[in-house]
A and B are shown apart, each in its own frame.
Chain A
Amino acid sequence: MKYEFKIPFFLAFRQITRGSKWTFFLIIFLMAASFINLVFVSSLFKGIIKGSNEQVINMHSGHIMIKPNSGKDVFENRDDLIEEIEKIPNIESATTQFEIGGNLALNEKSGNWIINAINPDEEVKVTKLFDSMISGEYLKSGDREGIILGKQIAGGDVAELDAFSLHANVGDTIIANFNGVEKEFVVRGIFNSKYMTVDNTAFITYAGLESIFPALVNQANTALVRLIEPGEEQTAINQLKNAGIHGTFYTWEDAAGIMNSVTSSFLTIDFILSFVATLIAAVTIFIVVYIDISNKRQQIGILRAIGVKPYIIRSAYVIISSIYSVIGVAVGAGLFFGIIMPYFVAHPFVLPIVDATLAIEPGDFIFRMESIIIVSILVSLIPSFMITRIKLLNAIWGK
């Protein structure tokens, strides 16, 4: 009994090392392709989710967004607020905004949009709006007449809501109307943040806002905070509260709004597609192992005839499948990390909401590796059970 345990390993290694090289490479290729199929779509979704989250942080909310407490409309001293916020450890920088609704008009076109007043010098330390200009230039501090427009306001080929836009270009003068108070602004630039809320926003400087409403000097109704170490939002919020900063605090996830439901939908789709990919991998591996075993039906019959127990034969095929799947997964992982991922990092998928690269978490990757190996072992058991259960004579005759 003790000697027969080595036989499955002996048969498995001999079959792999001395069997058909073409069969070996074909099976490894199929295993690798199945694994890449399982990982690729998931990585793409994770990449889109990661990119979308970064869009929210970089274009909209920073890591933390602070609004005045209910009952208060504004922070009274925005310079002090920034100074207090930036004292907290793990906070890289902060900026403030004054969000106001207004009507923008150009020629016969007009519409109501959010207009955000900012200090461009502070804003660039927290958001990356400056990096998403598609024409013209970013605002400069003290520019009282300048305005930059999100692509949905400016319109053009890149705007999904072009029909409702102003059809504005850099250099155009547009009229901003805030509850009956009008001021002309010159379009300095147009940006495409790929984040719908922001692309439906116009930005002016505090100087521009205060030239209309002098009473709003040094006031703000939103503060955005960028952390040194992302992921510590709740700790930073507690530190801000303990530092006596009053307001309603939101993490970037709270501020993500519709992107949260998009992320949730992607995760659901990812789960379904991963299940289907695993199923396809299982069926592929089953077919490959079944054909391989069927071709060896007579050989298996001979093994049984000379006294080899069925469990030894089954174990040999399980070992063979394990080796195939481990090598296939290793090859698949090598191709994924060595070729596919670097390619898509260099050439991201350009989507309307984000430029998506591939992203996968180590735990998820390991789980998928384990899944494909376990699935291949389980499905290889089925044909090996089938083949060792047929009548001995039929097996010997190859029936």
Chain B
Amino acid sequence: MDQKVIISIRNIEKTYNLGEIKVKALRKISLDIQEGEFLIITGRNGSGKSTLLRQIGLLDWPNRGQIFLDGDEVTHLKEKHRRKIRHKKIGYIFQEYALIPELNAIENVMLPAMLIEPTKSCKPRAIDLLKKVGLENRLRHQPKQMSGGEQQKVAIARALINNPKILFADEPTANLDSIAAGGILEIFERLHAEGHTIVMISHEQDEKSYASRIIELRDGVLL
């Protein structure tokens, strides 16, 4: 069965101006990401992995090239429209967990859904997602009361709350010990098995075994 291309990028270039110095972070990157794929982007520090993820995750604008999401060009959309797409179609998992410290696990997870539906409908879903990532005993804990691994699980549940088409994870295990990291990767593996499309940045050699495809960047060029 032919798999649908969910994200397509064509000749993406990104240059950062650091004073008088211009750093070419991405050089004419083209890539198709299939629906249901677990893609790991790897490469050395400064190779452009995170920059690439931010372009396709609509957190930043490329200098050149095109980005298509679900067949629609989204390259030059204004932030207002990008925000809508991020909210409905994309789930993010950041390296630093990025939870709201004053909210408990359930509230952190259901926050993106609360923008578009009543609390009574999204709260049970948030609880289900937290149970799914193994946090049934941490539902009402605030981030400061949880370990790094648990916080990252909350972040994964939050990324899933609006049933996104694609999950982006920027080195989600970088701050975790091996046991916690293993738990997170198992969740990603399960999500992949359920049909979720995942794009993840990783340094770790052993994490690559979870991927359905691995791409490597070096000096802003796709190898």
Task: Using CB atoms and an 8 Å cutoff, list the residues of chain A in contact with chain B.
Answer: 3-4, 6-7, 10-11, 14-15, 17-19, 298-299, 302-309, 312, 392-393, 396
Which residues does chain A contribute within 8 Å of B102, judged by CB atoms? 11, 14-15, 17-19
B114 near A6 with CB under 8 A, answer yes
- B68 beta carbon closer than 8 Å to chain A: no
* Contacts A/B (CB < 8 Å), 6 sampled: A4-B114, A18-B102, A19-B102, A299-B98, A307-B86, A393-B60
Partner of A3, one of B99, B101, B115: B115
Partner of A392, one of B79, B103, B158: B79
Among B92, B98, B100, which residue has the most Cβ atoms of chain A within 10 A? B100
B59 near A305 with CB under 8 A, answer yes
Chain A's nearest CB lies how many Å from the CB of B170?
A: 10
Chain B's nearest CB lies how many Å from the CB of A55?
A: 56
Complex Cα distance, B68 from A154, in Å, reads 98
Which residues does chain B contribute within 8 Å of A18, judged by CB atoms? 101-103, 142
A306 near B79 with CB under 8 A, answer no
B54 near A304 with CB under 8 A, answer no
- B116 beta carbon closer than 8 Å to chain A: yes
Which residues does chain A contribute within 8 Å of B54, judged by CB atoms? 393
Which residues does chain A contribute within 8 Å of B132, judged by CB atoms? none
Q: Identify the closest chain A residue to B115 (Cβ).
A: A4
- In addition to A15-B102, A302-B98, A393-B59, 8 A-B residue pairs with Cβ atoms within 8 Å of each other are A7-B114, A11-B100, A14-B103, A18-B101, A18-B103, A304-B83, A307-B88, A393-B60
1/0 per position for B160-189, CB-CB distance to A under 8 A? 000000000000000000000000000000
- B87 beta carbon closer than 8 Å to chain A: yes
Q: Identify the closest chain A residue to B87 (Cβ).
A: A307
- B20 beta carbon closer than 8 Å to chain A: no
Chain A's nearest CB lies how many Å from the CB of B10?
A: 22
Task: Using CB atoms and an 8 Å cutoff, list the residues of chain B in contact with chain A.
Answer: 54, 59-60, 79, 83-84, 86-88, 92, 94, 96, 98-103, 107, 111-112, 114-118, 142, 158
B86 near A3 with CB under 8 A, answer no
Complex Cα distance, B142 from A19, in Å, reads 11
Partner of A7, one of B94, B115, B118: B115
Among A299, A303, A305, A309, which residue has the most Cβ atoms of chain B within 10 A? A305
Partner of B87, one of A7, A15, A306, A393: A306
Which residues does chain A contribute within 8 Å of B96, judged by CB atoms? 298
Which residues does chain B contribute within 8 Å of A393, judged by CB atoms? 54, 59-60
Q: Identify the closest chain A residue to B118 (Cβ).
A: A3
Chain A's nearest CB lies how many Å from the CB of B37?
A: 23
B83 near A309 with CB under 8 A, answer yes
B59 near A14 with CB under 8 A, answer no
Which residues does chain A contribute within 8 Å of B158, judged by CB atoms? 306
Given contacts A392-B79, A393-B54, A393-B60, is CB(A303)–CB(B117) below 8 Å?
no
Complex Cα distance, B118 from A299, in Å, reads 23
Complex Cα distance, B165 from A271, in Å, reads 61
Chain A's nearest CB lies how many Å from the CB of B202?
A: 20
A3 near B114 with CB under 8 A, answer yes
B59 near A306 with CB under 8 A, answer no
Which residues does chain B contribute within 8 Å of A298, judged by CB atoms? 96, 98
B87 near A392 with CB under 8 A, answer no
Complex Cα distance, B111 from A306, in Å, reads 9
Complex Cα distance, B100 from A15, in Å, reads 9
Q: Identify the closest chain A residue to B113 (Cβ).
A: A3
Chain B's nearest CB lies how many Å from the CB of A266?
A: 47
Partner of B92, one of A4, A7, A305: A305
Complex Cα distance, B79 from A308, in Å, reads 12
Which residues does chain A contribute within 8 Å of B114, judged by CB atoms? 3-4, 6-7, 10
Q: Identify the closest chain A residue to B98 (Cβ).
A: A302
Complex Cα distance, B111 from A4, in Å, reads 10
Chain A's nearest CB lies how many Å from the CB of B116?
A: 6
Which residues does chain A contribute within 8 Å of B87, judged by CB atoms? 306-307
B83 near A396 with CB under 8 A, answer no
Chain B's nearest CB lies how many Å from the CB of A324?
A: 15
Complex Cα distance, B112 from A302, in Å, reads 11
Complex Cα distance, B83 from A305, in Å, reads 7
Complex Cα distance, B59 from A17, in Å, reads 31
The 4 closest A-B pairs by CB, nearest first: A307-B87, A18-B102, A302-B98, A14-B102
Partner of A302, one of B79, B94, B115: B94
Q: Identify the closest chain A residue to B57 (Cβ).
A: A305
Given contacts A298-B98, A393-B60, is CB(A307)–CB(B112) below 8 Å?
yes
Among A19, A298, A307, which residue has the most Cβ atoms of chain B within 10 A? A307
B117 near A3 with CB under 8 A, answer yes
Which residues does chain B contribute within 8 Å of A11, judged by CB atoms? 100, 102
Chain A's nearest CB lies how many Å from the CB of B189?
A: 24
Chain A's nearest CB lies how many Å from the CB of B87?
A: 3
Which residues does chain A contribute within 8 Å of B115, judged by CB atoms? 3-4, 7, 307-309, 312
B92 near A306 with CB under 8 A, answer yes
Chain A's nearest CB lies how many Å from the CB of B221?
A: 22
Which residues does chain B contribute within 8 Å of A19, judged by CB atoms? 101-102
Complex Cα distance, B100 from A11, in Å, reads 9
A303 near B59 with CB under 8 A, answer no
Chain A's nearest CB lies how many Å from the CB of B6?
A: 19
A3 near B112 with CB under 8 A, answer no
Chain B's nearest CB lies how many Å from the CB of A21?
A: 12
Chain B's nearest CB lies how many Å from the CB of A308?
A: 7
Complex Cα distance, B94 from A18, in Å, reads 23
A307 near B83 with CB under 8 A, answer yes
Which residues does chain A contribute within 8 Å of B98, judged by CB atoms? 298-299, 302, 305, 396
Partner of A299, one of B60, B79, B100: B100
Partner of B112, one of A10, A17, A306: A306
